[in-house]
Amino acid sequence: MALTRIQPAAIADVREPNFRNIIINGNMAVSQRATSTASITTTGYHTIDRWNTTISALGTWTQSQDTDVPTGQGFATSLKMDNTTADASPGASDYLNIRQYIEGQNLQYLKKGTANAESLTVSFWVKATKTGTNIVELRDNDNSRQISKSYTVDSTDTWEQKEITFAGDTTGALDNDNAASLTVLFWLAAGSNYTSGTLNTSWGTSTDANRAVGQVNHADSTSNNIWITGIQMEAGSVATDFEVVSYGQNLERCQRYYYRINPNGSSGSIGSAAFYSSSSVFTMLEFPTSMRTSPSLETVTGTDYYNVNRDSGNDPFNDFSLNTSNIDSAHLYTDSNVSSTTGFAGRTRFNSASGYVAFSSEL
């Protein structure tokens, strides 16, 4: 029987993504912080990695990693926004959107600010209780420029796929660094400061009044929900199929910005430890991937949430402090409720299901 030879390039195309999708975690699969957070009224990263909820006085929300997804499209999770306190009459300066910040050094191939600037196409799946016009915005943070385009939710509570193409911008190069050069925003509601002008559908100097003209108010009823998944942004004027990456690859890309260690039940190791003095202990950690910048520590304090195992004994303690960090590792310390011989080694671990240790270098 004759055998057909499969070319190596074809194998690589199947097995390895080329990361044409500029968006990280567009399928909403990674959620290190939480799978659901209620009573959201302030800006921050609340659940799904890389997606920042930006809000000012526009309702109260529960955000979750949901299993409601478009049928037969290969997605397992979506980001859900559930309005729990309505605001039917937003103040002029009120706003609500979800957004992702993107490093400039990852965008140089777009050739922004040159005659050869690439267009960008954003595609995604959305489902919403409220029908009508919605706005997607791109913001060039290095040059104070932006562009907005609209799409329409046609049917209530029905998954719909949307595709939007933004022309390339021949003005203003993006910085070649690890700062937030470009932001993609999905507006959910906006006050008149952002809707009273003319929608800026071509690249230009950022004017707030022209950013979200026509945006419906998803905050006007506690019956309103909105889901989104499968977000892809790629160079060119054609939307291609959503680029599939493994969960491990997706997680690693998210951990460049946020790395969290959660307890396994009420236990689980945190890191290797050594007593700097008889009453202070250092914990050494190496990150699974290099972070964007030297991260800050994010943790929670509670009675006996943590424990150091040392010389056949255990010392429970309440919290950690950050001694030093770089993009690859961190040293934590505690100097309360611990006692041993200077130089002795041990390990720190969780002593409660409520504890966690995280490191953030978010944009």
Reply yes or no on whether the pLDDT at 331 is more than 60.
yes
Q: pTM of the prediction? A: 0.94
Confidence of residue 16 (pLDDT cuts 50, 70, 90): low
Mean pLDDT, residues 36-58 taken together? 98
Burial 188-226 (b: 16+ CB within 10 A, else e): bbbbebbbeeebbeebeebebebbbbebbbbbbeeebbb
d(CA 127, CA 135): 14
CB 213 within 8 A of CB 197: yes
Tell me the sheet residues that pair with 44.
Answer: 53
Fold annotation for 8-255: Jelly Rolls (2.60.120)
Average confidence score pLDDT of the chain:
95
Confidence of residue 1 (pLDDT cuts 50, 70, 90): very low
d(CA 54, CA 187): 9
CB 307 within 8 A of CB 348: yes
Measure the CA dihedral 281/282/284/285, to 10°. 90
d(CA 34, CA 299): 14
Quick: pLDDT tens for 335-359.
Answer: 999 999 999 999 999 999 999 999 9
CB 104 within 8 A of CB 171: no
Q: Which residues contact 296 (CB under 8 A, 6 or more apart)?
A: 322, 325, 359, 360, 361
Quick: pLDDT tens for 159-178.
Answer: 999 999 999 999 999 999 99
Eight-state DSSP code of residue 243: P
Burial 323-333 (b: 16+ CB within 10 A, else e): eebebebbbbb
Domain boundaries of the chain, sorted by first residue: 8-255, 258-360
Based on the number of CB atoms within 10 Å of its own CB, is 154 exposed (0-12), middle (13-18) or buried (19 or more)?
A: exposed
CATH (one of 2.60.40, 1.10.110, 3.30.1380, 1.20.120) for 258-360: 2.60.40
d(CA 157, CA 82): 13
Helix or strand run (H / E) with residue 14: helix 8-15
Reply yes or no on whether the pLDDT at 272 is more than 60.
yes
